[in-house]
Structure 1
């Protein structure tokens, strides 16, 4: 019975973490951005470099890890030993859950430095989109909506 409970908790944690992931590519819009007017600027790519976009750090990872660690720890020993093992398991699980969430949601990004036609040079970081490669000299559009910008070809 306890094994089934632990497996259910683990699957729930994985599904919850998957739900935290959001796309940061140039071709995905949030619901709030979908119908909002956008400012469009044109520019030329000066440089491109790969970067790492850190993962999310919400309460879901540590909470799921603590729950799983606590259940797993409580199955060790009996009496006070079981209670202590549950506490230690919950603490260790919380730390492991936080690290797992950040690692699972970490993505490969690209920093695109653009010399805009208005004279400004700015760098934009976004998730790498499959099939979309930027290179120095490319003409691009910078789409800005609700305080967020993306670079698109």
Structure 2
């Protein structure tokens, strides 16, 4: 029961680390930066899945929880062995939980620019937000591009 509680707490903490990559959300670092604007027409919109983050937070939290849980089993050297096994299993579980919790549904938006060039941008968003034939703006800065109306 304690292990399950720890895993749920770890999952909740990881969920708080998730960030949005929609066209309407800017990070603090992106504020007040010059952006290049290009205009175009949406050619197609396709739902895709954006993989979750794979940082050290999930495995570390899982290893800590698993190690603590494992150390409560056995006595003496057996306790140390189960702590190591618990830490390894917890680290793997923590990594999987982090990736799953931060995975997002997104859109692949293909745009034909006014100059005839085609670009595809992946960002979070609602499929009803963009439709083929819509006139859109592509805002680019620092190697990142977002599609907006």
Structure-1-length-normalised TM-score:
0.89
Deviation at 1:9, TM superposition (A): 7.7
- Structure 2: distance between partners of 1:30 and 1:132: 24
Q: 1:141 to 1:16 in 2, by over 3 A?
A: same
Which residue pairs with 2:60 in the alignment? 63
Structure-2-length-normalised TM-score:
0.92
SS of match in other structure, 2:47: strand
Counterpart selection for 1:100 from 93, 97, 101: 97
SS of match in other structure, 1:32: helix
Gapped regions of structure 1 (runs ≥ 5) = none
Q: In the comparison of the two structures, how many residue pairs are matched?
A: 149
Structure 1 segment 4-153 matched on structure 2, within 5 A = 7=5, 11=9, 13-129=10-126, 133-153=129-149
Deviation at 1:7, TM superposition (A): 4.6
Deviation at 1:14, TM superposition (A): 3.3
Gapped regions of structure 2 (runs ≥ 5) = none
**RMSD of the alignment, in Å?**
2.0
Maintained 8 Å contact 1:43/1:140: yes
Maintained 8 Å contact 2:71/2:80: yes
- Structure 2: distance between partners of 1:100 and 1:6: 13
